[in-house]
């Protein structure tokens, strides 16, 4: 066994977060939560009746990646597509209230702003319904996004592609983004969707969850052997520098050339995994841009995920929460090579 990150090193990296600038490209979403209690079953149908006590709307999708970067002290700029509607206007207002630039957000009157509504009762999600249009964005809108990326990447330390398969992320967008990043020596980190895996060839790091890695590799991950095989298939297929498979209660597994690192979970209680992948990619991006190795960045991202899954709803964490999680976790955690 070997420890790959000391608390002193973690503190040094986290202190650098505030000097880092991340460009986030992805599907912008609004997350709408309806909170309530269930006391009876409906006489009209065998379904629970939720007595609504409150509602909240928070940044979701790639906007949640931005929010996580911001909450950890980093600087973020974002590009994506919204509709010319109230939800889109509210999304921009929420970003601006946090001091996050929104000039890279393109309005498309032919599309609605994606909004996911979740009904939560007694800390349990009862149902979710989505209002969205998932077909590919038009060439004119895509050209505007690519134009902004080529301009904004010059001032960024790292680029995140947050793919929710809502129509923004195309092969052309990924290839042009990766090409300009490679020419400038800027890393590209991707939170993927299965149907777009072949788009990500040659990027720096890809972070699928266990199900996405199983589906994309064609290997049902059930044990260490199938995990190794799936990781090997995807790593070779993508030609990336690193592959990080997030595995829920089983932690994370990092694949690099000629090495694997398995990171055990640190979550004490799991209330909600909504947006946990956004926290992982956001923290990973900040750490890598601050000079962390892939292993160091993955360990910090694992600590961050352990915090947010203990919260209900789409969540972020503060630098203090990440520091506390790292301080506790590094006392007991060993990583298996």
Residue in 309, 297, 224, 296 with CA at minimum distance from that of residue 266: 309
DSSP reduced 3-state for 169: coil
Task: Identify the active-site residue in 31, 191, 272, 278.
Answer: 278
Burial 233-248 (b: 16+ CB within 10 A, else e): bbbeebebbbbbbbbb
SS3 call for 79: strand
Q: Is residue 278 annotated as a catalytic residue, yes or no?
A: yes
Within 13 Å of residue 20, how many CA atoms lie on the same side as its CB?
32
| Residue 123, C-beta contacts closer than 8 angstroms, at least 6 positions apart | 271, 272, 312
Q: Could you tell me which residues are beta bridge partners of residue 107?
A: 82
What is the DSSP annotation of 84-116? SSHHHHHHHHHHHHTT---TTEEE-TTSPPEEE
Active site residues: 278
């Amino acid at each position: 066994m070997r420890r790959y990150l000391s608390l002193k090193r973690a503190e040094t990296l986290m202190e650098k977060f505030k000097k880092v600038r991340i460009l986030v490209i992805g599907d912008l979403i609004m997350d709408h939560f309806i909170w309530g209690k269930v006391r009876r079953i409906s006489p009209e149908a065998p379904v629970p009746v939720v007595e609504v006590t409150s509602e909240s709307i928070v940044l979701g999708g790639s906007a949640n990646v931005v929010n996580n970067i911001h909450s950890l002290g980093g600087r973020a700029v974002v590009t994506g597509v919204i509709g010319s509607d109230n939800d889109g206007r509210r999304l921009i207002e929420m970003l601006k209230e946090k001091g996050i630039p929104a000039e890279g957000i393109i309005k498309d009157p032919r599309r609605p702003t994606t909004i996911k509504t979740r009904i939560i009762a007694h800390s349990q999600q009862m149902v979710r319904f989505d209002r969205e249009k998932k077909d590919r964005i038009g060439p004119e809108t895509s050209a505007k996004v690519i134009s902004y990326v080529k301009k904004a990447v010059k001032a960024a330390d790292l680029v995140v592609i947050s793919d929710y398969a809502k129509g923004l992320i195309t092969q052309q967008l990924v290839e042009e983004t990766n090409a300009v990043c490679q020419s400038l020596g800027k890393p590209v980190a991707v939170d993927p969707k299965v149907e777009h895996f072949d788009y990500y060839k040659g990027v720096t790091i890809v972070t699928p969850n266990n199900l996405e890695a199983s589906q994309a590799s064609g290997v049902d991950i059930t044990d260490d052997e199938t995990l190794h095989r799936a990781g090997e298939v995807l790593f070779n297929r993508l030609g990336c520098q690193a592959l990080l498979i997030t595995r829920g209660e089983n932690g994370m597994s990092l694949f690099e050339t000629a090495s694997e690192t398995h990171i055990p979970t640190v979550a004490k209680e799991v209330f909600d995994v909504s947006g946990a992948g956004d926290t992982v990619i956001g923290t990973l991006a900040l750490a890598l841009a601050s000079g962390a190795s892939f292993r160091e960045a993955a360990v910090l991202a694992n600590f961050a995920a352990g915090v947010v899954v203990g919260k209900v709803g789409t969540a972020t964490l503060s630098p203090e929460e990440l520091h506390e999680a790292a301080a506790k976790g590094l006392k007991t955690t060993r990583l298996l090579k």
